[in-house]
Amino acid sequence: MARIGTDIELAKELLEKGEVVAIPTETVYGLAGNALNEDAVLTIFEVKKRPAFDPLIMHVASLEQLAAYVETIPEPALRLADAFWPGPLTILLPRKKIIPDLVTSGLPTVAVRIPNHPLTLRLLESLAFPLAAPSANPFGYISPTTAQHVADQLGSQIPYILDGGACGIGLESTIVGFEDNEPVIYRLGGMSVEQIEKVVGKATVRSHSSSNPKAPGMLSSHYAPRKPLVLLPTHYASDGSRLSLEGLRDVGALAFKQPLPGILPENQRILSPTGNMAEAAKNLFAYLRELDGLNIEMIYAEILPDDGLGRAINDRLNRAAAR
């Protein structure tokens, strides 16, 4: 089983040997390997059972480090980086040939970000290479937000988990690229559309999935529990007349602010009793995981108001229900 600890030097040593380790970020835990080492990147895909057509995000410590790996950083991208890095924002940039095709799935752009976590930033600063790091979970399953989540899923396949505590945001990064110099949001995430648009103007949201995604995290079925998940309308909990759930003892519920009527209290998780979107985002994956572990047959989930971080949370719920 993987060791869990806070030893940055050990993590560095393993990564320099071409092994993969789990690392904390403010969004979710990542499964990291040397982005310039094709064998290490291949190990990431093998451990996650991730399809090779789904590109990875590359993590760096600074814009200065990034300059060695991308051809250019357009002015709007620089504005975003200045406003939000380190933070839950990934930017698609034209890559240099030093980046292996396996990282980008052969695309001319590479997805890059500077994560906002002190342990991982110190690790990145100590390395002579960037880290490719998708979420540290089996492909398609709920993303991990604690070191123990990683251990439960991948602990037998990796040597070390760098423990940075519970993730502060709990949703993957927002991914932004540029087409004809216009901003395009390819994945909704921990940075809201409104925040992006304040910096670069109106952005097109194109987070729908495809079998040949232009960015990480665009596939339709993703972030899903093992148990079937059924979506309910926004404000369902306060309007139970839509559908009676009375007597459903073998189901669980993921509600926004208040319990769903008719479902056992012990089988319910409330994302944020005060309606705080940041709290809801932070709890989303952990609560889905808890519900998936209960003795139930299916999960009902309430769609949130579709604004701010609610859009990203709803995106994850829709993908979780896509099966």
For residue 173, say whether it is annotated as part of any ligand binding site: yes
Q: Is 109 annotated as a binding residue?
A: yes
Which residue matches tokens 């970020």? 25
Chain centre distance of CA 17? 26
Structural contact between residues 89 and 173, judged by C-beta atoms closer than 8 angstroms: yes
Q: Is 79 annotated as a binding residue?
A: no
Ligand-binding site membership of 143 (annotated): yes
> Is 113 a known ligand-binding residue?
yes
Q: How far apart are CA 141 and CA 20, in angstroms?
A: 19
The answer to whether the beta carbons of residues 305 and 271 sit under 8 Å apart is no
Q: Is 135 annotated as a binding residue?
A: yes
E strand residue ranges, the chain: 3-5, 21-23, 30-34, 57-59, 89-94, 109-113, 131-132, 160-162, 174-179, 182-187, 204-205, 229-232, 251-255, 268-270, 298-302
Please check if 27 is assigned to a binding site: yes
Q: HSE (CB half, 13 Å, CA atoms) of 69?
A: 29
Binding residues for ATP, by number, are: 50, 59, 109, 135, 143, 187, 223
Binding residues, by number, are: 27, 50, 59, 109, 113, 133, 135, 143, 173, 187, 223
Binding residues for L-threonine, by number, are: 27, 113, 133, 173
